[in-house]
Structure 1
Amino acid sequence: MDLLTLLIWFSSLAFVYFGISCFYSDFIISEFVRYNLAKYRRATGYLQLLGAVGLLFGLYFNAIVVVCASTGLFLLMLAGFIVRLKIRDNFIKSSPAFIFAGLNLYIAFKAFYTYF
């Protein structure tokens, strides 16, 4: 298994977990209330699940889907990072969003240059 495949699987499984958590985790639900974005919680969960499925589908069937899904997850996590900074969370609390944004940006570029 090469590094790109490993990172795609890691990101996909993480976003399946995060996406499902948006619907059932009391902690995540309270975090969206704290961000003053409670009405976007379900949409965020669906987008995370869609991105996760897109990464895996694209890995095995169509590489352009990997690029699109990872770019979408990058944008979602970049927005999450900006929201965290805007509500004055420190960098440590904001770092998961930053790390997953960077990871998915790397996946998008690496997939693009590997497959196209």
Structure 2
Amino acid sequence: MSLLVGLVVFSGISFLIYGIAYFTSPKMKSEFIRFGLEKFGTLTAILEILGGLGLLVGLMLNFFLLISAGGLALLMLLGVGARLRVKDGFLDTLPALLFFVLNSFIFIESIKIIGD
């Protein structure tokens, strides 16, 4: 298994878990309330689930990998912004930052694959 495939699988499964957790964990919903973004919780969870599925499908169809990785990178960049806005500490912000970097890397690599 290549590094890229491993990262895609890791990110895809992680986003599926995070997205589903919104519907099953009161803590996840309370975070959106704390951020002042309760209106966007369900949408964000659905986008995470679709993005996670898109990454996994993207292992076979690169177009889905490109769109999903780009969308999830944007979503995580917004997540970093939300954490900074409420003045969360570095450790609380780190997961969103790492998933932003990870999905940005996947996005860039998927562009290279299309170019080949």
TM normalised by structure 2 equals 0.96
Aligned-pair Cα RMSD in Å: 0.8
Structure 1, unpaired ranges of 5+ = none
Post-superposition Cα deviations, 1:88-115, rounded to whole Å, max 9, x if no partner, equal: 0011111100000000000010121134
2:15 pairs with 1:15? yes
Alignment length (residue pairs): 115
Match of 1:54 in 2: 54
- Asked whether the equivalents of residues 4 and 111 of structure 1 are also in contact (C-alpha less than 8 Å), the reply is no
Match of 2:80 in 1: 81
What displacement does 1:37 show? 0.7
TM normalised by structure 1 equals 0.96
Match of 1:97 in 2: 96
Match of 2:38 in 1: 38
2:69 pairs with 1:70? yes
Cα separation, 1, equivalents of 2:53 and 2:13? 9
The alignment partner of 2:59 has SS state of helix
The alignment partner of 1:79 has SS state of helix
